[in-house]
């Protein structure tokens, strides 16, 4: 199936979810969040066309990856193609994270989105909100975004945030000084 990507697969990312991951950068996003760091991925006529078969065979050749991350753009604007990639990733033992500007609650009402979510382990949801921007929320850009355990959330039909990502990290200016060190 055809899919439009913003760039080739990006293996070895350590910032797009837990572990070492390969990012699938999809092209196209209608959310147009103010302050988006990836405006070049908004245009649905941009990027380049490829196929899910090609992407899946590239995934087969990768080594040392914990999983894939569907990002963009917004992968939920190409749900069928992303479903084929996510399904294949799971079949070859990779876990799947997905970023979207939609909320989990909105996706629950959409059949194609639900098909994709069946193969997603973790969803980072919601638009980027500039006034909620924080550098102290892991794997997110703004405080409103949630890191959701998808299998549990589908079971309970409500968004269940992974506990360790519930709060903002507390950052202090304290400098660590080892004790009992005499110079």
Which one of 3, 5, 33, 86 is in contact with ligand SF4 (CB under 6 A)?
Answer: 33
Which residues of 6-121 form beta strands (DSSP E)?
Answer: 10-13, 21-25, 48-51, 67-71, 95-99
Distance CA 73, CA 42 (A): 6
Residues 51-110 contacting ligand SF4, CB under 6 A: 72-74, 101
Nearest to ligand SF4 of 88, 141 (CB atom) = 141
d(C-alpha 109, C-alpha 27), whole Å: 23
- 73: left (phi > 0), else alpha (psi -120 to 50), else beta? left
In the numeric block, the tokens 């200016």 are attached to 173
Nearer to ligand SF4, 7 or 38 (CB): 38
Q: Which is nearer to ligand SF4, 13 or 38 (CB)?
A: 38
**Which residue among 32, 118, 152, 158 contacts ligand SF4 (CB under 6 A)?**
32
When CB distances to ligand SF4 are compared, the closest residue is 101
**Smallest separation (angstroms) from ligand SF4 to the CB of 152:** 24
CB of 176 to ligand SF4, least distance (A): 34
Q: What is the DSSP letter of 116?
A: H
Judged by beta carbon, residue 29 or residue 89, the one nearer ligand SF4 is: 29
Contacting range for ligand SF4; rule: CB under 6 A; set: 33-41, 80-88, 130-138, 158-166:
33-41
**Stretch 125-144 residues interacting with ligand SF4 (CB under 6 A):** 127-128
Sign of the Cα torsion 53, 15, 38, 32 reads positive
Tell me phi and psi for residue 82, to 5 degrees.
Answer: -65, -30
Is 111 buried (19+), middle (13-18) or exposed (0-12) by CB count in 10 A?
exposed
The verdict on 31 binding ligand SF4 (CB under 6 A) reads yes
Q: Name the site residues for ligand SF4 (rule: CB under 6 A).
A: 29, 31-33, 36, 38, 41, 72-74, 101, 127-128
């Amino acid at each position: 199936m055809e899919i439009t990507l913003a760039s080739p697969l990006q293996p070895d990312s350590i910032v797009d979810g837990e572990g070492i991951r390969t990012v699938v950068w999809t092209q196209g996003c209608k959310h147009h969040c103010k302050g988006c760091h990836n405006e070049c991925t908004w245009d649905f006529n941009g990027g380049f066309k490829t196929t899910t078969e090609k992407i899946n065979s590239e995934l087969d050749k990768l080594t040392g990856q914990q999983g894939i991350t569907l990002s963009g753009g917004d992968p939920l604007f190409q749900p069928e193609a992303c479903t084929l990639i996510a399904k294949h990733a799971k079949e070859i033992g990779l876990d799947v994270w997905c970023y979207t500007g939609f909320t989990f609650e909105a996706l629950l009402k959409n059949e194609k989105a639900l098909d994709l979510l069946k193969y997603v382990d973790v969803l980072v949801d919601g638009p980027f909100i500039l006034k909620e921007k924080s550098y102290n929320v892991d794997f997110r850009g703004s405080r409103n975004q949630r890191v959701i355990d998808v299998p549990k959330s589908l079971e309970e039909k409500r968004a269940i945030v992974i506990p360790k990502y519930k709060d903002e990290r507390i950052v202090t200016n304290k400098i660590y000084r080892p004790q009992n060190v005499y110079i």
